[in-house]
Structure 1
Amino acid sequence: MRGITFKDIKKVGNIVLENNLFTHVHYPEMLIMYDSNFIEFKKMPGISELKDTEKYLRDFHLKRGQNHLKFYFPENEKLSEEVRIYLTETGYESGFLELYAIRPNCFPKVNNNQDIEIKAVNNQNVENFLQLQYNQDLQYGSEFARQKIDFSKREFDDPAIVQILAFYQEVSAGYAIVNVSTETVEIDGLNVDASYRNKGIGSRLQQFVMESFPDKIVILVADGEDTPREMYKKQNYQYQGFQYEALKVFED
């Protein structure tokens, strides 16, 4: 397996500024989607560099009615102590992501529960997908959930994106989005409704991806402090690296 990095992970947005220190990505179609409106550092910033970049991004966002700051730091580098302390003292939430990869033939065999059916999203079931996703996204606010519907409709028409829907006893119960590139497929946004968890739906969604793209490397990102990462390890995913991130949301 070739070296997989966070550069293989799809980030939606347009590069509006790039220099020796960072890349600034902006997505005007959905200003409240933090993961598409951010700065990614190319090298670990010192405090003065971080403060200057923070001011630049804050000014840029204020002009567009955005109330957040989101930073990604260089992959496989831990935050320096001074940066960590500054982020904590100034109200950022920080953590780290972990990157995993697997060849489809290494994915363990899944129990073929007849109650579960996995389908690619199409014109017949797209409304089921959108409603299920809307219900899940409400935890981030009704406005975000509403805008996410329009975002997903745009993705539905993108040939490089496959939306997958899981049914349990004919009721829509989970979904995933797959970003397809030349060598890899990324499982993004895998989600199972709380009422249908621990029934094997997440594994069946992944199995569908493995069977659909047997010749590609399957990749995904997990929260470095969350429990799903332990499941991925048990499923034979191989750890590829980590990346720190920080988010600050200002009160309106």
Structure 2
Amino acid sequence: MKNIFYYGFSKKETNDRFDIYYDKDAKLQYFNNLLSFNQNISTEELIKIEKEYVQRLEKNNQLNSLLTFPFNIPIDPNIYRVLSENGYDIQVQEVYSVKPEVFLTMNKVIREDISISFVNNKTLTEAGKYGYEIALPFGINYANFKQNNFIPKQFLDERTEIIIAKFNDKIIGILYLHETDDYIELDGFNVNEKYQHQKVGTSMQIFAMQYAMRKNGKEVFLISDSEDTPRIMYKKQGYILQGFYYYAQKNLT
């Protein structure tokens, strides 16, 4: 399985057992600062590596610790226990993919009363405000980060497009599209709760799939929590489960 994970502007350090991604400007963004194991390790190794990693994070005033584990390998029960005892929340994420032509064949209904477009210079401020609103339940600092740092940097990233859906000239949905030479990842999918289950999300994905078709039909990936309801919808839309990985996260404050 190729590495489909997008780490934004994070820098990377690597060795034979794990990779470390870090972005000093994105302390509030879990997946911009993480340690990713690329092979199985013993419980003793985990304890040593995690301790040194947390010390590094605290020295740099990082706010969160995030660990990810090898693709399609269940986490060792002893490692699960040790992490839980040390305050980590452990979850599973699933990776799905679909060929854009398959999605477009299976999903033809589109909302004609909403407008879907890529964010541009004229709509960037509005997109930032929407990002602030949906992030606010997680704290004002995180909301400010989304509006003033994350979204502007995503807009400037040549590998990323930001898709917005508007109804009555007001943003009701947002979706990030990250592109590499081989594939496209959909990320940060959000539709205003008032407009969910009304084909808004499907219409946004159709827009993204049409873009993928213009890019030589690149395969499209997305990641979903294994317990989230949307993953059921993704399967109905034509996505195929490619695998899973465990991750563990905790707040250091």
- What SS class does the counterpart of residue 229 from structure 1 fall into? helix
Q: Distance in 2 between matches of 1:120 and 1:191?
A: 15
Q: In the alignment, which residue of structure 1 is the partner of 2:96? A: 100
- What SS class does the counterpart of residue 116 from structure 2 fall into? strand
Q: In the alignment, which residue of structure 1 is the partner of 2:211? A: 212
Change (3 A) 1:113 1:151: closer
Q: Distance in 2 between matches of 1:127 and 1:23?
A: 35
The Cα RMSD (Å) is 1.3
Unaligned runs of 5+ in 2: none
Q: In the alignment, which residue of structure 2 is the partner of 1:14? A: 11
Q: Distance in 2 between matches of 1:74 and 1:18?
A: 15
TM-score (norm 1): 0.93
Structure 2 counterpart of 1:161, which letter? T
C-alpha displacement at 1:167, in angstroms?
A: 0.9
Q: Distance in 1 between matches of 2:100 and 2:129?
A: 30
Q: Distance in 2 between matches of 1:76 and 1:184?
A: 20
Q: In the alignment, which residue of structure 2 is the partner of 1:73? A: 69
- What SS class does the counterpart of residue 198 from structure 2 fall into? coil
Matching residue within 52, 55, 58 for 1:59: 55
Q: Distance in 2 between matches of 1:152 and 1:67?
A: 20
TM-score (norm 2): 0.93
1:27 and 2:23 correspond: yes
Q: In the alignment, which residue of structure 2 is the partner of 1:41? A: 37
Give the count of matched residue pairs: 246
4+ aligned runs moved over 4 Å, structure 1 = none
- What SS class does the counterpart of residue 100 from structure 1 fall into? strand
1:85 and 2:65 correspond: no
Q: Distance in 2 between matches of 1:79 and 1:59?
A: 23
Tell me the alpha carbon deviations over residues 67-111 of structure 1, each in whole angstroms, 9 at most, x when there is no partner.
Answer: 321100011100111111112222210011111111111112232
Q: Distance in 2 between matches of 1:131 and 1:39?
A: 31
Q: In the alignment, which residue of structure 1 is the partner of 2:113? A: 115
Q: In 1, are the aligned partners of 2:107 and 2:237 still within 8 Å (CA)?
A: no
